[in-house]
Structure 1
Amino acid sequence: MANIAEAGTAFVRTQVPGCDVWPHVVDIQTDLLRSLAMRFVVPLAPTSLMPASLPRRSCPLIKVAGVSPMLVPYEAAPLGKRSLNASKGSAKDRARAIAAALDAVVSGV
């Protein structure tokens, strides 16, 4: 798994108005691919939506504007740059947890 912190990624961003399902996402795509029209993002959701059967480490908490929604790595997907607003902050301090959560989705570890 790539080191998200070293790649200069993991910025929390808001989607444009009308994207009510996942209002905040973590942009984890390396800036080496900034010329692409898409960004690879992981949505954030209220912790109340977390299934009880899901291991807690699979959905780490990411602080955004004074609240701590959970990362939803199993919903990671590309999203057009036009659907994203400016950065709302950095999640680099949670880079290891983000990478581990994504790794768990791919490898089950």
Structure 2
Amino acid sequence: MTVNIYDDINKLENTFRKTTEYTAVQQAVLDVKSDPQALALFKSFRDLQMTLQEKQMQGIEISGEELEYAQKTAQLAQTNEKIEKMLQAEMALSGLIDEVNRVLMKPVQALYEGM
């Protein structure tokens, strides 16, 4: 019997979009986008994160000044209620994704049990 896993994955995606966790992130993102100050602050925070990650992946040392600036930017972003709510919602969504991943990996883990 041939199984098309993509049919099931597409069903899962549709279900995923209906979860409380996903809709909370969706609403939080809309709230940030509707506030020009929160949006600018978040974009600055995200751009800085991406820049530092790229440097790390390229093996470029991140200076103490850059780390200090990143910490201050993160703290400032987290003081914004809308951004903080979005980050909290994203963490909850990440937990759901982790749980789905654990369930999907059960068959693979079972293969290695008893070795």
Per the normalisation by structure 2, the TM-score is 0.23
Whichever of the two has the greater Rg, that structure is: 2
Q: Which has the higher strand share?
A: 1
Per the normalisation by structure 1, the TM-score is 0.24
Name the structure with the higher helix share: 2
